[in-house]
Amino acid sequence: MDYSILDFANLIGSLCMFLFGMKLMSDGIQKLAGEKMRSILGGMTKNRFFAILTGVFITTIIQSSSATTVMVVSFVNAGLFSISQALGVIMGANIGTTATAWLISLLGFKVSISVISLPIIGIAFPMLFSKKPKYNYAAETFIGFALLFMGLDFLKSSVPDLKSNPEMFEFIQNFTGMGYGSTFIFIGLGTLLTIVLQSSSATMALTLVMCNNGWIGLPEGAAMVLGENIGTTITANLAALMGNIHAKRAALSHTVFNIIGVIWMLFVFRLFLSGVANSMTALGITSPFENPESIPYALSIFHTTFNITNTLLLVWFTNGILAITKFLLKEKKETPDKKQIEYLGTGLMQLPELSLLEAKNQTIKYCDIAKRMFTFVEDLLKEKDDAKKQEIFERIVKYEDITDRIEQEITEFLISVSEKEVSASAKEKIRRLRIITIEVEKIGDTCNKTAISIMNFQKDGVKFSEKQMNKILVMFDLVKEAFDIMFESINTEDKSNIEKAMEIENRINDYRDKIRDSLYEKFEKSGTKFKPGFFANKICTSCEKIGDNLININEVVLMVKVE
């Protein structure tokens, strides 16, 4: 056999160049149109057919169904839309990814794109040094496109020549002519290759080259395509490993959908291939059963027709597919504190820009936990039963641990995102989210210290009069109103909201001053009980500190500096 280790290394290197080019092109397009893609996906309606079209469009643009599905899983993990909506986009991604086969079939074998690859790199390379990010991303896209076709060209020349290596043909022939046994073997091969390469596009390119060189026939190539459909789902499942249950189910629904498609296709496999061959001869193209050079076109037709048909058939059974995923992945019963880190998942780090959506949603939940903790302090203040008082205090201490843990989780996640190659706007968002988490952690600390003070008052035998209690509760109501305005700022990012935030901040400060001045007046008159007034002032001062934290969050979110 005239095929050395060096030849094999050339084959692996060619495949790696193809993969690198595909990744570089996909990443460049995502960065170039990241905000637009987010708005397209984020604004998706519940209409399943619109979701499918969205999946087709996004995948055709970025040339990677894996990137689309990981993106969709990250949206589900971030709570931006349901698994049902995600499945619609995933169905569309299956159709959109067939564009790669057509690109390779039409250009990769008949047109030598590699001839102009070096000029493309020569033109794009200087753009990498531009100060404008858009030019950098465009350069990545063009260089990735060039490397992709250079890799494909090297791949074609690196595949063993069967005339010089008849042993290779005999080896492959051992696995053909076995009826459905051969079909299952090549489905397994397609699945395995896609899992190893982490790219159905790379496996498709390899399959098309093998068919074009006469290694395998149309049935074996089509079986590998079916295997690629199963293998490509592994990327989203790996990405969802560290996500929540909804993200895992969304990724699994992709696997279930594709496996069901392969199962029904096996029943009509030979008939389907005959239909593809007949349609080609009707168009004046040589039958793929007679001419190996026609097989790439036949596989492209098969790939597209199969995925469109599968989507049109199974789109009506979305609820059934979701029911299967729920049966296979049952939600575990967890303690409340275990569920606090809900949106962050390190497995989704393949798309750092979109990971910020998860971080933002987790930050909003973090703020909600802080508000809940603040209401516990109010409950502690009003509670008269010692046993219940102790129970509330222990809950506040537990929440203090939770806020510390979440602050650490979000910080580590944001650092991981910032270490990736992200845009300048994304870096600014990371900086602002980091500041918000610091402020929220301070709120948690203040709530914990206030709760300790309240418990100490009880030990000292301090009791507030009804009038003093009512004054303190007014301050709690003001701070809760400030929390609501802060949430409105985070969700809308409307800069005009800063006026409402400042108005409530001023009211909190004025009320704190009023309480303090009243305390000093009573102290000067003497003859009054000093301790209750002192502790009432201490509680209101703590509330005012939380108000300061909330106005700081408003400033960071709305990018408005208040003098």
**Full DSSP string of 30-80:** HHHTHHHHHHHHHT--S-HHHHHHHHHHHHHHHT-HHHHHHHHHHHHHTTS
d(CA 228, CA 19): 15
Tokens 């903790």 map to which residue? Answer: 373
pLDDT of residue 445 exceeding 60, the answer is yes
pLDDT of residue 74 exceeding 80, the answer is no
**Average pLDDT estimate for 327-350:** 57
Contact criterion met (CB below 8 Å) for 533 and 468 = yes
Residue 46 pLDDT level (bands cut at 50, 70, 90): low
* pLDDT tens-digit readout, 296-325: 888 888 988 999 999 999 988 888 998 999
Average model confidence (pLDDT) across the chain:
79
Q: Half-sphere exposure of residue 397, counting CA atoms within 13 Å on the CB side?
A: 9
**Average pLDDT estimate for 153-172:** 56
**Average pLDDT estimate for 492-508:** 89
Q: What is the pTM of this model?
A: 0.61
pLDDT of residue 62 exceeding 80, the answer is no
Per-residue model confidence (pLDDT) at position 441: 92
Residue 421 pLDDT level (bands cut at 50, 70, 90): low
Per-residue model confidence (pLDDT) at position 527: 47
**Average pLDDT estimate for 190-207:** 77
pLDDT of residue 47 exceeding 60, the answer is yes
pLDDT of residue 35 exceeding 60, the answer is no
Residue 457 pLDDT level (bands cut at 50, 70, 90): confident
Enclosing H/E stretch for 332: none
pLDDT of residue 148 exceeding 60, the answer is yes
Instruction: Give 100's contacts (C-beta < 8 A, 6+ positions apart).
Output: 63, 200, 201, 204, 205
Per-residue model confidence (pLDDT) at position 531: 72
d(CA 394, CA 381): 14
* pLDDT tens-digit readout, 508-544: 999 888 887 776 555 545 445 567 777 888 888 999 9
Per-residue model confidence (pLDDT) at position 264: 93
CB atoms < 10 A from the CB of 394, how many? 11
Percent of the chain topping pLDDT 70 = 77
- Higher pLDDT residue, 342 or 462? 462
Which DSSP symbol is given to 268? Answer: S
Residue 166 pLDDT level (bands cut at 50, 70, 90): very low
Per-residue model confidence (pLDDT) at position 338: 45
* pLDDT tens-digit readout, 100-110: 777 766 665 55
CATH architecture for the domain at 338-558: Up-down Bundle (1.20)
Per-residue model confidence (pLDDT) at position 450: 92
Tokens in use for 458? Answer: 């009880």
32-41, 49-58, 113-122: range with lowest mean pLDDT: 32-41
**Average pLDDT estimate for 438-443:** 93
Which residue ranges make up each domain of the chain?
5-328, 338-558
**Average pLDDT estimate for 227-232:** 87
Per-residue model confidence (pLDDT) at position 393: 92
Q: Of the candidates 214, 137, 128, 121, which has an alpha carbon nearest to the alpha carbon of residue 168? A: 214
Contact criterion met (CB below 8 Å) for 423 and 34 = yes
CA distances from 156 to 17, 112, 152 (A): 13, 12, 6
pLDDT of residue 54 exceeding 70, the answer is yes
Residue 481 pLDDT level (bands cut at 50, 70, 90): very high
Per-residue model confidence (pLDDT) at position 106: 66
- Higher pLDDT residue, 380 or 237? 380
- Higher pLDDT residue, 346 or 537? 537
pLDDT of residue 118 exceeding 60, the answer is yes
Contact criterion met (CB below 8 Å) for 226 and 303 = no
d(CA 464, CA 251): 56
d(CA 417, CA 429): 11
* pLDDT tens-digit readout, 378-395: 999 888 888 899 999 999
d(CA 401, CA 492): 30
Contact criterion met (CB below 8 Å) for 407 and 440 = yes
- Higher pLDDT residue, 151 or 321? 321
Residue 89 pLDDT level (bands cut at 50, 70, 90): confident
Q: Of the candidates 220, 208, 207, 239, which has an alpha carbon nearest to the alpha carbon of residue 174? A: 220
Largest CA distance in the chain: 111
* pLDDT tens-digit readout, 266-287: 999 889 989 988 888 888 888 8
Determine the angle formed by the axes of helices 424-459 and 386-418, rounding to 10 degrees. 160
Contact criterion met (CB below 8 Å) for 480 and 375 = yes
Q: Of the candidates 297, 296, 305, which has an alpha carbon nearest to the alpha carbon of residue 271? A: 305
Per-residue model confidence (pLDDT) at position 485: 93
